[in-house]
Amino acid sequence: MHSTERTPDRQEARESLADVADRAATEAMAAGRTISSLVMDEIDRRGVSLAEGLDQISATLRHASAGQDQKSQLVEQAADVIDDLSDRLRQGATQEIGGRLVQYARANPGVVILGALAAGLLAGRMLVADDTAEAEEDADDRLHREGAYERP
């Protein structure tokens, strides 16, 4: 008798858990759509500055690929895609851009990986250069405070 009393409770618990899981999944999907919408809105607002940054990346890729053989062609393709993306950002076509990026990434994973690597290297170089400049500035400030530059 004791086990028959538990069976309805277990069934209710399972149903309740299933309902909670369904609601959580629905809310997660809605939150995902909201986040996606917010990201696209932010891209729309910052499109011009993003486009300028992409132009710099494209120019860096083209410069880095100058004089290279087959690798150069892949880098040129990546630079062309980045230029196209930059132009479209200036025109405010973010929804179209997202779809085209996904299609391009699926069709050309090597180029996308190469582009991501190049962008990462570029970002790393910029960060290192910025840190080096700050360190030199800090050293100069410290020497000025200690009076090292005031001696004849």
Q: Is residue 98's pLDDT more than 50?
A: yes
State pLDDT tens for residues 62-75.
787 776 666 677 77
Query: What confidence score (pLDDT) does residue 35 get?
Result: 75
Radius of gyration of the chain (CA): 27
Single out the residue in 29, 45, 61 at which a domain terminates. 45
- Residue 143 and residue 77 share a domain: yes
- Residue 66 and residue 9 share a domain: no
Spatial CB neighbours of 60, under 8 Å, sequence gap ≥ 6: 118, 122
- Domain extent at residue 91: 48-152
- Residue 140 and residue 99 share a domain: yes
Helix (H, G, I), strand (E, B) or coil at 92: coil
State pLDDT tens for residues 5-57.
556 788 888 888 888 887 887 887 777 777 777 777 776 677 777 778 888 88
- Residue 58 and residue 23 share a domain: no
Query: What confidence score (pLDDT) does residue 125 get?
Result: 77
Mean local confidence (pLDDT), 84-105: 75
Mean local confidence (pLDDT), 127-138: 71
Alpha carbon dihedral 83, 85, 90, 91, in 10-degree steps, equals 120
Taking a C-beta distance cutoff of 8 angstroms, is the pair 74, 111 a contact? yes
The pLDDT confidence band at residue 1, using thresholds 50, 70 and 90, is very low
Mean pLDDT over the full length of the chain: 75
Q: Is residue 145's pLDDT more than 80?
A: no
Distances (CA, A) of 147 to 6, 138, 139: 84, 14, 12
- Residue 34 and residue 69 share a domain: no
